[in-house]
Structure 1
Amino acid sequence: MNAPLPLKITREVATKAYDEVARVSNEVAGRLAARLAGETRGEVLFSGADRGRYATDASIYQIMPVGVFVPRDAADVKTALDICRDLAVPIVPRGGGTSQCGQTVGAGLVIDHAKHVRSIVHIDAAARTAEVEPGLVLDHLNTALKPHGLWYPVDVSTSAQATLGGMAGNNSCGSRSIAYGNMVHNVIGATAWTSSGDLLELGRYDAASAPARALGDYVKALADQLRPEIEAHWPKVLRRVAGYNLDIFNNQSEKPYTHDGSVNLAHLLVGSEGTLGLTRSLKLRLRELPRAKVLGVVNFPTFYKAMESAQHIVKLGDGTLTAVELVDRTMIELSLQNPAFAPTVKTALIGQPDAILLVEFSGNSKAELIPKIRQLVELMGDLGLPGSVVEMIDDAPQKNLWEVRKAGLNIMMSLKG
């Protein structure tokens, strides 16, 4: 085996490679902008100010893109894909930019779906499904579903900004994933363009078209080859959002991918962060809106105790437990410093807890749920924390507290330094 290169040489090589990429990018940027302007109806944004605005998201990361394209429709997205392939320019699909881990920043062409590519293609209330474009914001979908008594239950805290395409790319979870699962459990189909420009319809593996089936066969062979490694090292957890779902053929998570044990090729896209395909539409599984909810807010003297207690709390479910959500001391203190949130937060506190857990039960009536709160109170007493639960039976205080939790990103951004 050759000895590793000295650090200085490695840095020189990396710097030279970066400079070459930057030079090539500068050379093609003009052609890229000209072709996008001439062949599409979308907005072509290549000024320094526009690129700077899209160089970051809700994360701490910053990477200047070669340019930004805001398509008018799906046809514009396909044309942009073809142009980028011709010019060898990477693509960075973008939704609401709410990611805190930098998934929507990159040195390629940012394609912003959120402004125009955001239609609800179809709602089938009887089948409890909806087909949507990737730029649709979650709250906008749920507003349209409410008259049908339905909702999409991947309830992320940034629901007023987060797009369904971005949520699928990240395999988002949300507060109520204990009951309803992550994005991967609630996406039942997808249409997406591959890098070659082919449009694939991804759904059940056993009913796939020939091109999709060929893709599935390839991934299955890869997963079968790596099966011992996957079984040995894949995390066996309820919420896994680590990336590619190679285990769809041999599930390693606590929650199955599908309710009937089938394999769904759309699940390969979920969590891939735009690296495997460019989504045209998603088919989503909807749920019935809960008729009643009750909330128990458990106050803990230490953060560790809150974490340790969660494993016991989740056993209270019987199908009614829908959320166990943490609010730590940092968030509590920042909320108390904000006059808009302080009165609501105080209603949830007993003394000065180091952390609280929001434990929600949902069902057909409050009468059937109130005993679950009593069980929670008894459980905390058994765990050495009597008198630690604030019971919220009425809807208004529950709603107010969840709104504070959903404002968590904004509240955290107020942290000095």
Structure 2
Amino acid sequence: MQDLPLTAPDGPLARRLRSALRGEVLFDSFSRGRYSTDASIYQIMPVGVVVPRDAEDVRIALEIAREFRVPLLPRGAGTSQCGQTVGAALVIDHTKHLDDILEFDPEGRRVVVQPGIVLDRLNKFLRPHGLQFPVDVSTASRATIGGMTGNNSCGSRSLRYGNMVHNVRAIDALLADGERIRFAPGEQGGSRRARALFDALGALYAREAAEIDARFPKVQRRVGGYNLDCLHPEGNPAHLLVGSEGTLAYFERIELALAPIPRNRVLGVCHFPRFRDAMSSTQYIVQLDPTAVELVDRTMIELAREIAAFRDTVAQFLKGEPDAVLLVEFAGDDRREQLARLARLGELMSDLGFHAAGVPITDDALQKEVWEVRQ
């Protein structure tokens, strides 16, 4: 009898996984087809899918994948638009069971979570404590912390809070050989394998420091490639894993830095007759220290007007037929200070030649509705 392929529902890989795991093992064509796509234009059929019941399932699945020489692909919600969650690999979907909050320290403003927890659910838990995880991606209702960490996601308010790499404190990870290692500041000890790894990373940075400094762009939203610049002696080794798209390790536990929720927010909607006017104006707007500056172009405006749920909101903040608008948010505890910044934004718009081109929004409910349109 001819050997069945690895992708077969009754093939050797599927049988081995089913015999060893407590979670679901999906090798049927329909399931593989569902996991072959994400929010991108790409479509690649996976070898199979594992929905682990617990962290031990992941460890065993990794061991079996290594035995069969099959790549392993951790997957979050599939909201990325560049195809990071599709591939000819054994997909690990941690969104169903590995979604717990493991530790919470409100005084220290830190939380430890499993990779499958959704951002909105985490922030719902934090809100009564006056805290938030501030990397507010537009897909917050479904994006997972594991996926955001792998992607080094940014949010609307990255001007104030930075990317994921600026907000991840530590990662407990599984390497391809099954070794569990904690990536965190001051964690260069541990097992012999861990010490060897951190020594090698330190040597890599020492050897290439000049090249890294010369070649890595000095921009805030740098999300491409490995964060080799974070390997300096005072750096955090966890930041090497952030943005690695699951190619370096599987994230079992992720420790996050939290931020207080501002007491007051105000929003200015700046209108521009041309797209390039909006883009060129941001260099001046950021000097006012906004929390967010987000672009809404003509295409998004027209799409929002076509959606009944957004039509009334759009009519409240949009004047005329701009080619683009910028949503400029100011936030902090002192409301008078935020209102003064909003007034300065209006003055700046006039100085730039865009007279009466701003719509100030101070009502909290309307601000929320405007951001929902943007999302």
What's the TM-score bracket when you normalise by the shorter of the two chains? Answer: over 0.9
Q: Which amino acid aligns with 1:186?
A: N
Aligned counterparts, 1:259-298, within 5 A: 262-298=234-270
- Which of these residues, 333, 356, 361, is aligned with residue 330 of structure 2? 361
Given that residues 29 and 66 in structure 1 are in contact (C-alpha distance below 8 angstroms), is that contact kept between their aligned partners in structure 2?
A: no
* SS in structure 1 at match of 2:253: strand
Indicate the residue corresponding to 1:4 in structure 2: none
* SS in structure 2 at match of 1:390: strand
Q: CA deviation at 1:25?
A: 4.1
Given that residues 188 and 198 in structure 2 are in contact (C-alpha distance below 8 angstroms), is that contact kept between their aligned partners in structure 1?
A: no
Distance 1:93 1:29, change over 3 A: farther
Aligned counterparts, 1:67-82, within 5 A: 67-82=48-63
Task: Say whether 1:380 aligns with 2:362.
Answer: no
Given that residues 205 and 265 in structure 1 are in contact (C-alpha distance below 8 angstroms), is that contact kept between their aligned partners in structure 2?
A: no
- Which of these residues, 405, 413, 416, is aligned with residue 374 of structure 2? 405
Indicate the residue corresponding to 1:351 in structure 2: 320
Given that residues 73 and 246 in structure 2 are in contact (C-alpha distance below 8 angstroms), is that contact kept between their aligned partners in structure 1?
A: yes
- Which of these residues, 396, 413, 416, is aligned with residue 365 of structure 2? 396
Q: CA deviation at 1:100?
A: 0.8
Q: CA deviation at 1:342?
A: 1.4
Which whole-Å CA distance do the structure 2 matches of 1:154 and 1:378 have between them? 30
CA RMSD of aligned residues (A): 1.7
Q: CA deviation at 1:403?
A: 0.8
Q: CA deviation at 1:235?
A: 1.6
Indicate the residue corresponding to 1:55 in structure 2: 36
Q: Structure 1 stretches (4+) deviating beyond 6 angstroms?
A: none
Which whole-Å CA distance do the structure 2 matches of 1:61 and 1:88 have between them? 24
Query: Structure 1 regions of 5+ residues with no counterpart?
Result: 1-22, 251-260, 407-417
Distance 1:53 1:27, change over 3 A: closer
Given that residues 122 and 132 in structure 1 are in contact (C-alpha distance below 8 angstroms), is that contact kept between their aligned partners in structure 2?
A: yes
Give me the TM-score of the superposition, normalised by structure 1: 0.86
Aligned counterparts, 1:140-155, within 5 A: 140-155=121-136
Give me the TM-score of the superposition, normalised by structure 2: 0.95
Which whole-Å CA distance do the structure 2 matches of 1:338 and 1:290 have between them? 31
Which whole-Å CA distance do the structure 2 matches of 1:276 and 1:403 have between them? 35
Q: CA deviation at 1:226?
A: 2.7
Given that residues 92 and 110 in structure 1 are in contact (C-alpha distance below 8 angstroms), is that contact kept between their aligned partners in structure 2?
A: yes
Q: CA deviation at 1:206?
A: 6.5
Q: CA deviation at 1:390?
A: 0.4
Q: Which amino acid aligns with 1:340?
A: A
Task: Say whether 1:159 aligns with 2:128.
Answer: no
Q: CA deviation at 1:230?
A: 2.2
Query: Structure 2 regions of 5+ residues with no counterpart?
Result: none
Q: CA deviation at 1:368?
A: 2.0
Which whole-Å CA distance do the structure 2 matches of 1:397 and 1:361 have between them? 15
Indicate the residue corresponding to 1:258 in structure 2: none
Given that residues 178 and 322 in structure 1 are in contact (C-alpha distance below 8 angstroms), is that contact kept between their aligned partners in structure 2?
A: yes
Indicate the residue corresponding to 2:222 in structure 1: 240
Deviations 1:318-359 (A, max 9, x none): xxx211111111100111111111111122212111111110
* SS in structure 2 at match of 1:197: coil
Distance 1:178 1:29, change over 3 A: farther
Which whole-Å CA distance do the structure 2 matches of 1:368 and 1:29 have between them? 65
Distance 1:37 1:281, change over 3 A: same
Distance 1:393 1:81, change over 3 A: same
Q: Which amino acid aligns with 1:293?
A: R
Indicate the residue corresponding to 1:15 in structure 2: none
- Which of these residues, 148, 156, 161, is aligned with residue 175 of structure 1? 156
Aligned-residue sequence identity (percent) comes to 55
Distance 1:214 1:311, change over 3 A: farther
* SS in structure 1 at match of 2:291: strand
Deviations 1:233-283 (A, max 9, x none): 212111110021001145xxxxxxxxxx93111101100000000110000
Indicate the residue corresponding to 1:342 in structure 2: 311
